[in-house]
Amino acid sequence: MTTPDPTTPVFQPPVFDSPEQSGSRPLMVVDAANVIGSRPDGWWRDRAGAARRLLTTLAEYHQGPGAATAITVILEGAARPAADAVTPTTNFQIVQAPHSGDDAIVEAVAAAFAEIPTREITVVTADRGLRARVEPLGAATTGPNWLHSRLEGE
């Protein structure tokens, strides 16, 4: 699978006629470390704080324009304590990677496809090595700027 054109929306939110259809909603898997590290805003001084800000912003996005999309955020390393920043729901998950965040992302994508093989899954990362691992599984990929533009309402 190829990387989507950054000017074309990755997600076309489906219209759900019933709550039972929510399992087929698109899934966005967020490489939190990569998204946080994409902007030089001082995140390196407080990785957990930066992760909390991202989680809070993603949760707000999920309550509004991103409501039709399931979101899974992968936290690793010093960012893991931020998992308590928001309350996970069925369609907003936080995964604390015990070791490699990339491995946890690949596992999350593989598990989601195992559950629903036709599901639309997009991984948000600029990590070329990670992209090379999830695209053969069937996931689309896009960079952090795509996500930042949505979170900032652009």
Our CA dihedral for 42, 47, 51, 53, rounded to 10 degrees, sits at -40
With a cut of 70, list the residues of the chain below it in pLDDT: 1-23, 42, 154
Alpha-carbon span 33 to 75, nearest angstrom = 7
pLDDT attached to residue 125 = 95
- DSSP characters for 96-139? E-SS-HHHHHHHHHHHHHHH-TT--EEEE---HHHHHHHGGGT-
pLDDT of residue 23: 57
For 86, the token pair is 């928001």
CATH number for the domain harbouring residue 124 = 3.40.50
Rounded to whole angstroms, how far apart are CA atoms 151 and 147? 6
Looking at the structure of the chain, the number of domains it has is 1
Q: Give domain status of residue 47, yes or no.
A: yes
Q: What is the reported pLDDT for 29?
A: 97
What is the pLDDT, as a whole number, of residue 19? 36
Please answer whether residues 55 and 73 qualify as being in contact, where contact means their C-beta atoms are separated by less than 8 angstroms. Answer: yes
**Per-residue pLDDT, 43:** 75
Contacts of 24 (CB under 8 A, 6+ apart): 14, 116, 118, 119
Query: pTM for the whole thing?
Result: 0.82
**Token pair for 33:** 């470390």
| Residue 4, domain member (yes or no) | no
pLDDT of residue 55: 94
Domain assignment present for 10: no
In order of 15, 29, 68, 108, 116, the CA distances from 101 in angstroms are: 32, 11, 25, 10, 22
Are 89 and 71 in contact by the 8 Å Cβ rule? The answer is no
| pLDDT single digits (tens) 86-125 | 888 889 999 999 889 999 999 999 999 999 999 999 999 9
Q: Residue 110 belongs to what domain range?
A: 23-151
Does 7 fall in a domain? no
pLDDT of residue 154: 57
